[in-house]
Each structure stands twice: as C-alpha cells, then as structure tokens.
Amino acid sequence: MRESGCVTCAICGNETTRVGEQQGVLDGRSFVIRSCDQCGFAFVENPRQDFERLYDERYYRGEGADSLVNYAYESEAASRTIRTYEWSGIHRVYAHLAKPGCKWMDFGCGNGEAVRWAREQGTEAWGYETGWAARLGRAKDIPILDEQALDVHKAEFGFVTAIEVMEHVADPIHELRRIRRLLKRGGILFLTTGNAEPWRRNLLAWGYTKCPDVHIAFFEPRTMGYCLQKAGFRPCQMELTDGLIEIIKYKVLKNLRVRDRNCAIDLLPWRQIAKLVDARYQVSAMPYGVAI
Ligand SMILES: [Zn+2]
C-alpha cells in the first residue's frame, strides 16, 4: 500500500523500509524487497500480476519461476518421489494435532497428491486449488474444490493445511480469514512457509527471496503469530514431532535435488539431521493456529 511516497505494511500498517532488489528468473525483471521493523513482515513491493502465465503448466513442471517445483513428475511417479516423505509427514501432523476422524482441507493443494495420500490412510481429505495443477489432480479423481465450491464448505473442517502457500499470497490476512471460515471452532490450521527470522539482516541471501516472481511474502514467527490473531486464530508453538521431522527430511532432499526415495536415504539419522536443520532454519518456530 502506497501513501504519500511511503509504502505501508499490509499486516500492521507501519512504514516499511526498502531492503534492496532481487532479480527474477522468468524474464530478468527486478523486484523490490521491503520489510517492516514493527511486525517483521517482508514482501515484494512490485509483484507480478500475470498469474495465468506464472502458474501455468511450465511452472508445475519445474520449467518456470521455481526450478525446485515439479508437480507433474510427482503426480506421475507418486509412489517413488521423495514428496512421499512430506505427504506422510503432514498426515502425521494431522494425527498429532487434529481431533480424530475430523475432515481435512489442503488449501492450495497443487496436484492434490497429499489429499490422495491422506485418503489412502482413511482420512476424509479434500483439496482446494485453481488452474492447471487442479486439473491434473482432478484427472486422477482427487477431490479438489474450486473457488465457488469452497464457499459451500464453511465451518466444515477440523484441520486445514497450507503447505508452502503463504509466501505466494499478496494479502496474507485475507487468505487466513478465508481459511478460518472453512474451520470449525477449535479446528487447527497447520502451515509451512520459510522462517525469515534467521535471515533478518541478510534477506537477499535467503533462498525464499531468490524466487521473487512467485515468492512475494516472507514471515518471521512473530509476524505469522500476529497474522493468525488478526484472522481469528490463537497462535500455538509447534514441537519437532515425527511429522515435522519427515517434512524437514523432504525439504533437505528437495534442496539437494534428490528426486526419488531409496533405501539408503532411510538409513540416515533423520532425527539428528532434522534437529541440526531446525537449529539453523528454525522451521519449528513457525506457529500453527487454533480457530477461536
Ligand atoms: Zn508490519
């Protein structure tokens, strides 16, 4: 938001500071990164608006703005991709945090493979997504709702996930309020997004800000806690549970550009590795929300 020459924070309304510029990967466009001292929110001041082009088939095949994304492969090779560690990890978080048997919505579910995984474990899971990735999932009969259908399912879910979604949205509080409306009172929102806090003095060196075509919002745990409160949630502290360890395992392998799971991977001491990764990147510090 621009007011008489200054750019105010979309979260707390305070004045923000220009951090610097980051080069996009799609067409070399330059993006201005700003941050707010008050709440810790950082964001791209001039985000792209051509969403149809950004989130097209090329993006989901890893040929677009983020080369670490490959939903098409994960859909085709669902039983052997390392993404299975993440699906399994999210389902464990569900089992740990949510009321037994409650309905689960994966908000921004991409190709919907986490939903398929959960359904195979007997959980009544649904997805929400738009565009090419949603069509990919629906072709496999995964129940992925569109924007209109979402409105019909108010206060229906006991658990909502938003996995690596919040860094893509221009108005985080608006999205969190949409999620809040899907949840029953006492329901849980579990989200993952990068933690900007360890990078506070060096934001431009952080991997999340290096995809400014698509990553446009960056949060510290205190920022997310504040956003959750504004959207009708009580923020709660995560623990490094088995589910989160599996999610971290997936993140580590993804960044090492490992594609498929194998026996050698499973022999590694992932609890210890996850603790080291968590000490550096503070993954578990990001709060989850309880709908109030
Ligand atoms: Zn702020």
Whole-angstrom Cα distance, residue 44 to residue 217?
7
Boundaries of domain holding 106 = 2-291
pLDDT in tens, 241-288: 999 999 999 999 999 999 999 999 999 999 999 999 999 999 999 999
Q: Which own/partner pairs from 141-144 qualify as long-range (CB within 8 Å, at least 24 positions apart)?
A: 142/111, 142/112, 142/113, 142/115, 142/116, 143/112, 143/115, 144/109, 144/112, 144/115
**Centroid of ligand 1 to alpha carbon of 38 (angstroms):** 5
Structure pTM? 0.94
**Centroid of ligand 1 to alpha carbon of 86 (angstroms):** 31
pLDDT interval class at 13 (50, 70, 90): very high
**Centroid of ligand 1 to alpha carbon of 272 (angstroms):** 35
Number of domains present in the structure of the chain:
1
Cα–Cα nearest to 56, from 116, 6, 130: 130
pLDDT in tens, 196-246: 999 999 999 999 999 999 999 999 999 999 999 999 999 999 999 999 999
**Centroid of ligand 1 to alpha carbon of 95 (angstroms):** 34
Output the average pLDDT for the chain.
94
Q: What is the DSSP string of 44-57?
A: ESS----HHHHTSH
- At 5 the pLDDT is 64
pLDDT higher than 70, residue 4 = no
CATH assignment at residue 252: 3.40.50.150
**Centroid of ligand 1 to alpha carbon of 169 (angstroms):** 15
Which residue, chain included where needed, has tokens 């950004």? Answer: 54
- At 3 the pLDDT is 46
Whole-angstrom Cα distance, residue 71 to residue 111?
6
pLDDT in tens, 46-105: 999 988 888 888 888 888 888 877 888 888 888 899 999 999 999 999 999 999 999 999
pLDDT higher than 60, residue 1 = no
When comparing pLDDT for 11 and 28, which is higher? 11
Residue 19 CB coordination number (10 Å): 18
**Centroid of ligand 1 to alpha carbon of 43 (angstroms):** 10
